Amino acid sequence: MNYFFFIEAIILFYLLVVTRHSYKRALFFTHIFQQQGYKLPVYKKWCFRNFSDVLIAPPHLFVIPLFVFELIKGQFTITSIAIIIAVFGIFSFGSTAYINPEKQKKPLVFTPRVKRLLGISTIAYAFIVYIGLSLGYFNDDFIPDPFVMSFVWIMGDILVPFIVLLAGHIVKPVENYIQEGFKKKARAKIASMTHLKIIAITGSYGKTSTKFILKTLLEERYNVCFTPGSFNTPMGICKVINNDLMPHHQLLILEMGARHPGNIRELCGIAAPHVSLVTNVGKAHLETFGSVQNIAKTKAEILAGLRQNGTAVLNSDDPLVNEMPVRNDISVIKAGLETGSFQVSNIRYGTFGCKFDLSEGNESVEISTSLLGEHNIRNIVQCIATARYFDLRLPTIAQAAKRIEPVEHRLQLKHFGNYTIIDDAFNSNPTGAKNAVDVLSSFENARRIIVTPGMVELGEQEYEENKQLGYHIGTSSIDLVFLIGKDRSKPLVEGLKEAEYPDDQIKVVNSFFDARDWLEKNHLDGDVILYENDLPDLYNEN
C-alpha cells in the first residue's frame, strides 16, 4: 500500500508541476488573444507565425527522453522509472519565467470575457486530464503508468493555445449576443437625446490627440462627453454612451478606429455623427487592410455614415482624404497647414512645446500649446475649424489652446530633473514616426537619443518602411540610437548603415526595459530621449 502511495505521490507532484505550466500558458495565450482584439484569424496567424518560439516550447522536448524511458523501463522497477520521469519532468516544466516575464507593459485584464474564455479552457483541459487518468491509472491492476500519464499531460500542455482558440470559437456567439444588447441600449439612448450633437473622428493616426484637442476647445462653451483614451471600438463607444453620457451633455465626441473594412460603418450604425473629422490616410494596419486604398475606403465610411445635412471637416493637405466621396447633402470644411480655411505661419518648437500664428481672413491669433510636431499642428487647425463651426471665436480658441494637454504616450513631453523625455510610445505609423524624429532633431544644445523597435502591422511593406525609418534617423542629427530586438531591428540597422550612421552610436538591446535601465544610469545633463513606439508584449523576442 505504502509502495504504490509513494509512486502515486511522485507522479502527482510532477503532474501538478505540468498543470501549473499549462495554466501559465493559458494565461499567456489568452493575453495574446486579448491584445489581438479577440480576432480569431489574427490570433491563429500569430500562433503559427511564432510556432518555434512559444507554440512548441522548450519543455515539450521532454517527450523525446520520455520515449527513451519507455523503451528501457523493463530494466528498472516501476518506482525507479517513476522517479526518473518525475525528476526530468519537474526540471523541464518547473520554470515558467519564459512564458510570463515579470515586466509586462500591459498585463492581462481579467474582464468577464476573459473569465469565460478561461472557464471553457479549463473544462477542455480537464477533459484531457481525465483521458490521461483513464489511460494511465484506471487499468486492471490500478497501477499508475507514469509514461502514459506524462505523455497525455504534455500533449495537453502543447494543445493549450488551440484550447484557447476553441474557447474563443465557443464563446463567440455568446459575446455577439451580449454586444448586440449593449449596442441596442446605446442606440436607444442616443435616439432619446434629440438635442445632442455627435462628432466623430477617424484617421490612420492622430485620432486620440485630435479628440482631446477638440474636447478642450469645445468645453469653453459646451457640456462635452467624450470617449477616454483609445476607446474607439464598438464596445468602448457603447460603454461611454451607456455609462457616461448624461442628459445635460450637448456634444458627444467619439473616436472611431478600424483594423478591418466595415469597422467604421459598424460604429456609425451605433451613433451616426452630425460632424465627421478625417485626420489623414496613411500606412497603418496594412497587414489587415492590404493597401492604402482599402484604408481610404474604410475611413470614408465615416462620411457615408453622416446624418442628413451633416458636415465633414477634412484635412486639406491629404490627397486621399480630399478624394473621398461626399454626398450632395453634406457640407465640407477643409483645414490644413498648406491649404484650407486658415493660414499657419511662424512655427517654432522648444521645451515649452510649440507656438505658431494662425489667420482666418483679416483676423489673426498666436496659438501656444505644449503639443509637439507638425502633425499635431495640423490636428489643432482641424479642431479649430470644427470649433469655429460651433461658433467659438478665435481669441477664445487661442486661450483654450493653452490648456491642451498631450495625450499620454503620444509625443508627450516629460521633464525629469536634468533631462527630457519625449514619450511617443503609442505611435506606430511611418509618417508619425518620421515626424517624431524630426521633433527630436529640432532640439538644440542637447544629446538627442531615440529608443525604438520600429513599426509593425505594415504587411509586405513593413521591412522597407522600417528601413526608410532607419535611414531617416541616420540623417537627422540623432546622437545615439537604441534598437529593440535583434531580429526586429535588422531593417532599421540596414537603413542606418545606408545613411552611413556610425556603428558605435547604435545599441541593440533585448527589450525596452534594458534601454531604459541603461539610460537611467548613463544619461547626461540636457539629454532629450525619444521613446518611439513601445510595442505590446506579444512582439517581444525571446
Question: What DSSP line would sit under 152-200, residue for residue?
Answer: HHHHHHHTHHHHHHHHHHHHHHHHHHHHHHHHHHHHHHHHH-TT-EEEE
Asked whether residue 60 carries a pLDDT value surpassing 90, the answer given is no
Asked whether residue 539 carries a pLDDT value surpassing 50, the answer given is no
Asked whether residue 541 carries a pLDDT value surpassing 70, the answer given is no
Burial status of residue 390 (CB atoms within 10 A of its CB: 0-12, 13-18, 19 or more)? middle
- At 42, the amino acid letter reads V
What is the reported pLDDT for 137? Answer: 60
Average pLDDT on 110-139 reads: 85
Give me the chain's average pLDDT, please: 87
Which of 89-103, 111-125, 272-286 is least confident? 89-103
**213 versus 430: which is more confidently predicted?**
213
pLDDT category of residue 238 using cuts at 50, 70 and 90: very high
Candidate ranges 123-132, 423-432, 452-461; pick with highest mean pLDDT: 123-132
CA-to-CA dists, residue 384 to 221, 313, 393, 506, angstroms: 14, 10, 10, 41
What is the reported pLDDT for 538? Answer: 44
Q: What is the homologous superfamily of the domain 412-539 according to CATH?
A: Mur ligase, C-terminal domain (3.90.190.20)
Average pLDDT on 389-406 reads: 93
Strands 331-335 and 343-350, bridge-based pairing = unpaired
Residues 6+ apart with CB under 8 A from 150: 11, 14, 15, 18, 66, 85, 89
**313 versus 421: which is more confidently predicted?**
313
What is the reported pLDDT for 261? Answer: 87
Asked whether residue 1 carries a pLDDT value surpassing 50, the answer given is no
pLDDT category of residue 4 using cuts at 50, 70 and 90: low
Asked whether residue 280 carries a pLDDT value surpassing 70, the answer given is yes
Burial status of residue 455 (CB atoms within 10 A of its CB: 0-12, 13-18, 19 or more)? buried
Class of the domain covering 193-401: alpha beta
Domain with CATH 3.90.190.20 in the chain: 412-539
Domain with CATH 3.40.1190.10 in the chain: 193-401
Tell me the pTM: 0.72
What is the reported pLDDT for 104? Answer: 54
Which of 54-63, 321-330, 482-491 is least confident? 54-63
What is the reported pLDDT for 338? Answer: 86
Tens-place pLDDT, residues 293-334: 999 999 999 999 999 999 999 999 999 999 999 999 999 999
What is the reported pLDDT for 306? Answer: 97
What is the reported pLDDT for 140? Answer: 52
Which of 136-150, 171-185, 486-500 is least confident? 136-150
Average pLDDT on 527-538 reads: 75
What is the reported pLDDT for 330? Answer: 95
User: Greatest CA span in the chain, whole angstroms?
Assistant: 99
Which of 232-236, 292-296, 303-307, 427-431 is least confident? 427-431
Strands 224-226 and 251-255, bridge-based pairing = parallel
DSSP state of 340: B
% of the chain beyond a pLDDT of 90: 50
CA-to-CA dists, residue 505 to 481, 484, 488, 501, 516, angstroms: 6, 14, 18, 8, 16
Average pLDDT on 149-176 reads: 91
Average pLDDT on 400-422 reads: 83
Candidate ranges 263-277, 349-363, 367-381; pick with highest mean pLDDT: 263-277
**406 versus 169: which is more confidently predicted?**
169
Tens-place pLDDT, residues 437-460: 988 988 878 899 999 999 887 777
What is the reported pLDDT for 101? Answer: 54
Stated length of the chain: 542
Question: What DSSP line would sit under 394-450, residue for residue?
Answer: HHHHHHHHTTPPPPTTSSEEEEETTEEEEEETT--SHHHHHHHHHHHHT--SS-EEE
CB atoms within 10 A of CB 269: 12
Asked whether residue 143 carries a pLDDT value surpassing 70, the answer given is no
Alpha carbons 372 and 385: distance in angstroms, whole number: 19
Tens-place pLDDT, residues 181-207: 999 999 999 999 999 999 999 998 888
